[in-house]
Chain A
Amino acid sequence: MNLKNSDKDKGEGSNKINNPNWLERLSKSNDFIHEHTSLKDEAPFWISYYRTLISSDILHKDVLPYLHEHLSLEELKSSIPVQEIIFTKDEDKIIQNILNGSLAIQKYQYDEDCLLINIANSKFRDVGMATMESSALGPQLGFIEELDTNINLVRKRLPVPELYVKEMKVGELSKTKVAVLYMNGIADPENVNTVIQRITDIQYDQIQDSSYIASMIEDNSNSLFPQSISTERVDRVAAGLTEGKIIIVVDGSPNLVILPVTLMESFIAMEDYSYSWILSNFFRLLRLAAMFISTMLSPMYVAIMTYHYELIPARLLETLVGSRAAVPFAPFLETLFLELMIEMVKEAGIRLPLKIGQSLGVVGGIVIGQAVVEAGLTSNVLLILVGLGSLASYTSPVYKFSNTIRFIKFPVIFLAQWFGLLGVFLAFLLTEIHLLRLTSLGRPYLSQYPIRNTSFQDLWVRLPFSMQKENPTTLRPQKKWKSTGKGKKMGPANDFYE
C-alpha cells in the first residue's frame, strides 16, 4: 500500500489543506514508504520511513503492535518501548530524522504533528584491534567507523563529567556528525574555541574521513608535515585528553584527530610507556635516528660519490668504488632509479590485498633487488643504503608522518646532486626553517624550540613516572600537575639493604 494508492483510495480528502512539504520531497525515492497501518480506519495512523534505513525487526516487534490501538500521539510516545522518540512539527527536523533512520507517525495523512521514533538500523564492524598502529604490549583496542561507539570507548577510559563533547554537523550533503572532545579545566579554552570555530567555518559538500577535517583546519595546509596526529588507538586519545589536547571525532572514520601536536610526538609510541624508562628512551632515540637515516643516507651517497669521494678513507673507498665499477650510470641516476623502484614496491604492496601484498614484497624486494645488482645496474652498497632508508622510514608510530619522511628524501637527492654536501645541509636548513615557522593551532610545532622544562619529562626523553609530574606547558594547560603526590616511593628504611 503505497502513497499513490492511498491517495487514490481517499481521493481529495478534506484534510488536504496543509499537504506536508516533507512528504512531497521524500516520496520521490522508491525505498520511501508511506502507508496506513490498518485496513480499517479504526486506528488511523500513517507511518513513513525509508525501508533501507530502519530495522524492520524493531518496527514489527516494538512499534507496530501499539499502532493498532486507539491512542493519541502523546500516549503512543509513552507506551512505545524505544528510547529516542521526538514529538515535533518542524519540517526540517522531520526530514533530518527520517533520513537518519527514524519512523514518522501521523494521526492523519496531512497532519502537521508528527511522532519520530528512531529505529535506525546501523551496521558497523565490531570494535577490534588497532591494525595500523599495532603494538606488542599495551591495550590493543582500536576505534571503528561509528561516532557514538568511539566516544563510548573514550568515556570508558575517562569516566569524569569534565570530558566535554561538542557535536556539530559538517558537510552540505553528507551532514557528517563531528564531535570535539576536550577535558574542561585542562584544555586551553582558546584552543577549544579555535577548533570549534574552524570546524563550523568549513563549507564543503562531503566529509568522508577525519583527515578531511584535519587538513581543512590545520594552520598551514601547504606543509608536508601533518600538524595533527590521526590515531586509531584509544589509549593515545585518552592520554592526550588528560594532557589538555583536543580530539576531533568524525562519524564514519576510525581515525581520531589529536590537536595540537609537536613534531616530537610523531616519534612517541604508546608502547613506550610499557617499558622501563631507559628502554623507551632508547627506542625514541632510535626512531629519531631512523628519520635522519631515511632522509639523509641516499642523498649523502649521491653527494659523496659525485663530489666528495675524498671524504671516504681509502680502504672504504675501495669497497664503494669496487661495488659500482660496473654500473654505467651516475650516482644520482642510480639512486633515483633504485629509490623510485622501492617506492613503487611499497605503493603496490599497500594497494594490493594483504595476501598478494606479502608475496609482492618478496618479489619486489628480494628478487628484483638481487637481479638489479647482478645485472650491474646498481651497486650493492647502494641497495643496502636504500633498503635501510626505506626500512627506517617506517619506524615512526604515526603513519602520516612516515609518509612525509618517505617523500622528503627525493628533493634532498636533487639538492645533493646540484650542490653536494652543501645541498644536503641546505635541505636540512630549509626543513629546519620550515619547521620553525610551522604552528599547530598557533602553538610552536618544533618542540625543540622554545625549550620547556616539561619537554625533558616526557617528550624528547621519558623519565620514570615519579618524575613526570607536569602537563606539557606548550599546550598551555589549565591544570599544571599530573601528579599531586610528592612522588616519593616507599623505599627501604636505610640507605642500603641490610
Chain B
Amino acid sequence: MQANIRHQVSPYLVFFIIYNSQVGVGILSFQRTIAEKAGYDAWIGVLAAGCLVQAFIWVMYKLLGKINGDIIDVHTAIFGNVLGKSLSLIIMIYYWLASVSVLIGFIEIVQVWMFPTMPSWILSTIILLSVYYCVSGGFRAIVGMSFLSFIFPQILLIGLFIFPLKIAHFSNLLPIMNHSFMDMVDSIKSSVYSIAGTEALLMYYPFIRDPKASKKFAHLGVLFTTILYTISAIVSFTFFSEKQLKTTIWPELSLTKTVTLSFLERFEYLYISMYLIIISSLITLFLWCSSRGLKIIFNKKQKYTLLLLCLLSVILCHLNGSFKDMLNNIIIQMNLWVFYCYIPVLLLVLTFVKRGKQNDE
C-alpha cells in the first residue's frame, strides 16, 4: 500500500536516510569492539559486513517490492491479521529499543565528557522533545533532518580524519590477514551491529516515490557508510596501539583530541554537541518507524503511540546502569536473528505463497 504522494520523498533521498539510519553512536566506539579478536585486521571485517548489508538491502527490496507495502503488509499477507500483527510488533519493539540504546549511548558520552552531574532524564527529555517535534512534522521533515544532518555536521566531521593522520603509523596494519577465520567472523559480527540500521527501510518503503529507482541510492548509501566506517577503523588502527585501543572506550572521540587550532582546543566538546544533531535525526527515524508501526497495529493515533514511546524511553534512560549492557545484547541478538535470518526466510516463504496462489488461480 503506497502512501499518499504528498508525503512521499524523491528516490535520491534514500541515500541520506540509509546513511542517517546507519551512523549513530556506534561509529564512536566500534573500533574497540571489532578489534577485540581480529586485531588490526578487523577493518576487513567491516568491509565484509558492508557486503552483507548490501545483500540485506537487496532482500528487503525484493520482499517489499512483491507486496508494495511495508513489513506489516507483508506479515498480514502471509500470516493473516492476528499472527502477522504480533510478528510485526516484535520488529516495532526492536526499532524502539534501538532508538533507546542510541539515546542511552549518547547520554553516557555527554555525562562522561561534558556534564558529569547532569541527570539522564533531563538530557533524554530535551532530545525527545525535539524528536517529537520533528516526527509530528511528518515523514518529509524526518528525511529533511537526515539530509541536513549529513550536510551540516557529518561532512565537517569527516574532515577531522586528517588531523590524526599526521602521526599515523600505517605499518600497524601489516601484515594483513594474520588472524584466524573465526576471529574474522567475530569482527564481522560486531561490525554488522555497528552498521545496522538499514532495517528501517522495512517501514519507510511505501514513502519512497519510485522505489525501483531508489534501489541504487540505497546501495550507494550503504557503500558510503561502509567506506566511512572502514576509514574510521583504519585511522584509529594506525593511531592507537593495539593495547591502547582495547582500553579506549570511544576511540573516535579520543582521536579528536589531536585537533588543535589557534582559537580552539579540546575539540571534542564541539564534536559531541554537534553529534546531538546526528543522534536526534537517527532517533527521530527509528521512533517514527516504531510509532507508525504501533499506530497501524493497534489502530491508534500516531500522536499517542509516539508520546507513549517517548515517555517509556525517558524512564528507561533514567534506569540505566547494568541495564545498558543487557539492552545492547538484546539488540545485537535481535538484529542478527530477526533481520539476517528471519527476513530472508520470509522472502522465501512469500515467494512460495505467491507462487502457490498463482497455481490455484
CA distance A396 to B262 in the complex (A): 30
Main secondary structure of the interface of A (DSSP, over half): helix
- Contact A448 B148, beta carbon cutoff 8 Å: yes
In the complex with contacts A421-B270, A426-B126, A429-B276, A313-B264 CB distance below 8 A? yes
CA distance A316 to B138 in the complex (A): 45
CB of A311 within 8 A of chain B? yes
Q: Which residues of A contact B201 (CB under 8 A)?
A: none
- Contact A313 B260, beta carbon cutoff 8 Å: yes
CB of A16 within 8 A of chain B? no
Chain B residue at minimum C-beta to C-beta distance from A300: B270
Using a Cβ cutoff of 8 Å, how many contacts connect chains A and B? 92
- Contact A311 B276, beta carbon cutoff 8 Å: no
- Contact A310 B141, beta carbon cutoff 8 Å: no
Chain A residue at minimum C-beta to C-beta distance from B260: A313
CA distance A432 to B264 in the complex (A): 25
CA distance A307 to B141 in the complex (A): 32
Annotate A410-436 by CB proximity to B: 1 below 8 A, 0 otherwise: 000000000111101110111011101
CB of B147 within 8 A of chain A? yes
Q: Which residues of B contact A485 (CB under 8 A)?
A: none
Within 8 A of A (CB), among B131-164: 133-134, 137-138, 140-141, 143-145, 147-148, 151
In the complex with contacts A430-B130, A433-B133, A421-B9 CB distance below 8 A? no
For A420, give its contact among B115, B138, B274, B280 (CB under 8 Å).
B115
Q: Which residues of B contact A310 (CB under 8 A)?
A: 265-266, 269
Q: How far is the CB of A356 from chain B (nearest CB, A)?
A: 40
CB of A450 within 8 A of chain B? yes
Q: How far is the CB of A365 from chain B (nearest CB, A)?
A: 26
Q: How far is the CB of A2 from chain B (nearest CB, A)?
A: 64
Interface size classification for chain A: 20 to 34
Chain A residue at minimum C-beta to C-beta distance from B12: A451
CB of A308 within 8 A of chain B? yes
Interface size classification for chain B: 35 or more
Q: Which residues of A contact B126 (CB under 8 A)?
A: 419, 426
- Contact A450 B10, beta carbon cutoff 8 Å: yes
Chain B residue at minimum C-beta to C-beta distance from A421: B273
- Contact A311 B262, beta carbon cutoff 8 Å: no
- Contact A308 B266, beta carbon cutoff 8 Å: yes
Q: Which residues of A contact B114 (CB under 8 A)?
A: 307-308, 420-422
- Contact B148 A432, beta carbon cutoff 8 Å: yes
- Contact B277 A450, beta carbon cutoff 8 Å: no
CA distance A437 to B139 in the complex (A): 10
In the complex with contacts A433-B133, A433-B137, A436-B145, A311-B264 CB distance below 8 A? yes
CA distance A448 to B13 in the complex (A): 13
- Contact B280 A429, beta carbon cutoff 8 Å: yes
Chain B residue at minimum C-beta to C-beta distance from A428: B277
Q: Which residues of A contact B115 (CB under 8 A)?
A: 307, 419-420, 422
Q: Which residues of A contact B10 (CB under 8 A)?
A: 450
CA distance A300 to B44 in the complex (A): 41
Within 8 A of A (CB), among B94-122: 110, 114-115
CB of A256 within 8 A of chain B? no
Q: Which residues of B contact A307 (CB under 8 A)?
A: 114-115
- Contact B133 A430, beta carbon cutoff 8 Å: yes
Chain B residue at minimum C-beta to C-beta distance from A442: B6
Annotate A383-425 by CB proximity to B: 1 below 8 A, 0 otherwise: 0000000000000000000000000000000000001111011
Q: Which residues of B contact A426 (CB under 8 A)?
A: 126, 130, 276
For B262, give its contact among A313, A421, A432 (CB under 8 Å).
A313
- Contact B277 A425, beta carbon cutoff 8 Å: yes
- Contact B274 A425, beta carbon cutoff 8 Å: yes
Q: How far is the CB of A319 from chain B (nearest CB, A)?
A: 11
Q: Which residues of A contact B262 (CB under 8 A)?
A: 313, 316
- Contact B277 A429, beta carbon cutoff 8 Å: yes
CB of A124 within 8 A of chain B? no
CA distance A101 to B280 in the complex (A): 62
CA distance A449 to B12 in the complex (A): 12
- Contact A448 B134, beta carbon cutoff 8 Å: no
Q: Which residues of A contact B130 (CB under 8 A)?
A: 426, 429-430, 433
CA distance A89 to B151 in the complex (A): 67
Within 8 A of A (CB), among B249-266: 260, 262-266
CA distance A3 to B347 in the complex (A): 93
Q: How far is the CB of A76 from chain B (nearest CB, A)?
A: 59
B positions within 8 Å CB-CB of A = 9-10, 13, 110, 114-115, 126, 130, 133-134, 137-138, 140-141, 143-145, 147-148, 151, 260, 262-267, 269-270, 272-274, 276-277, 280
- Sample 23 A-B pairs with CB under 8 A, ordered by A number: A308-B269, A310-B266, A310-B269, A311-B264, A311-B267, A311-B270, A313-B263, A419-B126, A420-B114, A421-B114, A422-B110, A422-B272, A426-B126, A429-B276, A429-B277, A433-B130, A433-B141, A433-B145, A436-B134, A448-B148, A449-B143, A449-B144, A450-B147
Q: A433-B130, A437-B137 are in contact. List 8 more A-B contacts (CB 8 A).
A: A307-B115, A310-B266, A313-B260, A422-B273, A425-B276, A429-B130, A434-B133, A436-B141
